[in-house]
Amino acid sequence: MTDNLWYKNSVFYELSVRAFKDSNGDGRGDLRGVTEKLDYLQTLGVDCIWLMPIYPSPLRDDGYDIADYYSVDPAYGSLDDLKVLIEAAHQRNIRLIMDLVLNHTSDAHPWFQAARSDKNSPYRDYYVWSDTDQKYTDARIIFVDTERSNWTWDEQAGQFFWHRFYSTQPDLNFANPKVREEMFNVARFWLDLGIDGFRADAVPYLFEREGTNCENLPETHEYLKQLRAFMDEHYPGRILLCEANQWPEDVRPYFGDGDEFHMGFHFPIMPRIYMALKKQRYEDMEKIMRRTPSIPENCQWCTFLRNHDELTLEMVTEEERQWMWKEYAPEPRMKLNLGIRRRLAPLLDNDRRKIELANSLLFTLPGTPIIYYGDEIGMGDNIELFDRNGVRTPMQWDDSPNAGFTDATPFTEPIQGKLGYQNINVAGQLNDPESLFHALKQMISLRKSHAAFGGSDMQWIQTGNPHVAVYLREYDGERMLIFNNLGDSVQQVNIPTEYRQTGTELFSSRSITLGDALELEPYSYLWVQL
Ligand code: GLC
């Protein structure tokens, strides 16, 4: 495991430890459960697992509210269990990253408890306090369904405290050098345990400054660069993945000169993939990719279709948001904050062609794809559950009671019905060579075995047909011509002269001769190596 640019040609997989596999019969998934299922992830072809937070937490934000940065919540196991998991993963050439939640702690964290109870405590200044709630008024509210202000009055402290997320998640005060140092210690602790890096949560909001929207501030970048330098010095080859739900030009600085983040999520392309599928036109995707600045050679975008949060619509216009809600969230329960709390398969009408096509886009656009657990089999969701829990239900392993997830009463019921475990499960799909699982497995393997996909180059090819996204991916002497028919009918594209040649269609490994035109079945895709 020495290639320091490993993340450019990888496939990532995000999972909720609680929902993946219960090994000890308490109804909740745990680290040993993940270890038990490494063979499965290896079969799928995953290179790196991102574990959602496993730190002790009152779970007011499903673990993103951390009460202790230095241990594992006993419900998930122990530090030793984590070490075993890391080792077993590494033996299979699978890496593992964890969430690094820098911006805030839980209000149950001893720092906050000390801070609120004593004005003179050294921890008081770990948080952001004010006598008025009229500071930093240009900062938007993120959890608009629940929060009315970024300030909450604390009776005990006799002051307001600052929080960008739930009021149970006070923001740390990064203006305080002690806080900045504490977070280095946290990073060191987990890297010393052997993890391969972090998905750094909510980084745009670390610092506050009056007169700004308190996002993406220069002092935030300065701190993150120090964190990167620290990692490069002591832990080369480990990565930082940036969660900045921002426009491409605002994410660009998070890559710095190749000296800040290794990777950054590309948020705006995600909703545009759904827009493209519904409109049967690729123009919105093309626009946002053209608006995406180039990034340093040692950096990489990270692309996704779904994750543990709502399908965020922060990076679209108001008009586009209303349209997305109308098309994809017809029932009020499906909406959450500025997004949609549904999974991939239900969003795409459980239409196998659309699910594969969305993945074809994901796997061939610039960036390293990340799969959200369960989406590789087309798992369902439950919009009745609180907050985002409806997309964090037990993994559907087989059709036995409780989906093969646990022998006990599960922390939440697995999905029932058409997309439930009786119909959609790993065991069934492993046995069926025609399943979605096997289609994705092949995509993953093709994506990884061709350097062209890991590069950053992408050229849109004009074929005169707005329904078919055609582009060239080129890197290191390899050239891939990709066709994605977004239309629900057969579409024809004109092939520009320079591409009229014989190539290899990657899925069938058959030779294909591109003439002056090509016909594509509804929702079909073709990856041609020239
Ligand atoms: C990130 C996480 C989200 C969490 C928030 C606050 O956006 O993805 O799940 O609620 O940060 O930590």
Going from the Cα of 281 to the center of ligand 1, the distance in angstroms, rounded, reads: 31
C-alpha gyration radius of the chain:
23
Residue with tokens 């219960």: 22
Nearest to 308 by CA among 58, 13, 10: 13
391 lines ligand 1 (CB under 6 A): no
Going from the Cα of 526 to the center of ligand 1, the distance in angstroms, rounded, reads: 36
Q: Is the pLDDT of residue 459 over 60?
A: yes
371 lines ligand 1 (CB under 6 A): no
Q: How far is CA 129 from CA 115, 155, 156, 181, 292, in A?
A: 10, 12, 12, 20, 37
Q: Is the pLDDT of residue 2 over 90?
A: no
The residue nearest atom 3 of ligand 1, judged by CA position, is 309
Strands 459-460 and 491-494: unpaired
pTM: 0.98
The string of pLDDT tens digits covering residues 92-112 is 999 999 999 999 999 999 999
What would you measure as the largest C-alpha separation in the chain, in angstroms?
A: 77
**Active site residue ranges:** 201, 243
Structure tokens at 206: 């670390």
Query: In a 3-state reduction of DSSP, which class is residue 20?
Result: helix
pLDDT band at 234 (very low <50, low <70, confident <90, very high): very high
- CB-based contact 397:21 (threshold 8 Å): yes
Within a 10 A sphere around the Cβ of 317, how many other Cβ atoms? 9
Structure tokens at 460: 């849109």
Within a 10 A sphere around the Cβ of 1, how many other Cβ atoms? 10
Q: What average pLDDT does this structure show over 440-468?
A: 96
47 lines ligand 1 (CB under 6 A): no
Nearest to 384 by CA among 345, 413, 344: 413
Going from the Cα of 202 to the center of ligand 1, the distance in angstroms, rounded, reads: 7
Nearest to 10 by CA among 43, 48, 40: 48
| Sign (positive or negative) of CA dihedral 38, 39, 40, 45 | positive
14 lines ligand 1 (CB under 6 A): no
CA gap 23, 313 in Å, rounded: 36
| Sign (positive or negative) of CA dihedral 384, 58, 203, 152 | positive
- CB-based contact 442:11 (threshold 8 Å): no
Query: In a 3-state reduction of DSSP, which class is residue 129?
Result: strand
Which atom of ligand 1 is found nearest the CA of 101? 12
165 lines ligand 1 (CB under 6 A): yes
Structure tokens at 254: 């998070």
304 lines ligand 1 (CB under 6 A): no
Give residue 204's identity as a one-letter amino acid code.
Answer: P
99 lines ligand 1 (CB under 6 A): no
The string of pLDDT tens digits covering residues 373-417 is 999 999 999 999 999 999 999 999 999 999 999 999 999 999 999
The string of pLDDT tens digits covering residues 36-75 is 999 999 999 999 999 999 999 999 999 999 999 999 999 9
The string of pLDDT tens digits covering residues 181-209 is 999 999 999 999 999 999 999 999 999 99
202 lines ligand 1 (CB under 6 A): yes
pLDDT the model gives residue 1: 46
Which atom of ligand 1 is found nearest the CA of 309? 9
| Sign (positive or negative) of CA dihedral 37, 39, 42, 47 | positive
CA gap 238, 191 in Å, rounded: 8
Give the DSSP letter of residue 24: S
Nearest to 423 by CA among 524, 345, 356: 345
The string of pLDDT tens digits covering residues 504-521 is 999 999 999 999 999 999
Going from the Cα of 63 to the center of ligand 1, the distance in angstroms, rounded, reads: 9
The percentage of the chain sitting over the pLDDT mark of 70, rounded to a whole number, equals: 100
The residue nearest atom 8 of ligand 1, judged by CA position, is 309
Going from the Cα of 388 to the center of ligand 1, the distance in angstroms, rounded, reads: 10
Q: What average pLDDT does this structure show over 330-345?
A: 97
Pocket test for ligand 1, best of 59, 140, 146, 165 (most atoms within 8 A of CB): 165
CA gap 76, 88 in Å, rounded: 17
Going from the Cα of 491 to the center of ligand 1, the distance in angstroms, rounded, reads: 41
61 lines ligand 1 (CB under 6 A): yes
Q: For helices 318-328 and 269-279, give the axis angle rounded to 10 degrees.
A: 60
The residue nearest atom 9 of ligand 1, judged by CA position, is 309
The percentage of the chain sitting over the pLDDT mark of 90, rounded to a whole number, equals: 99
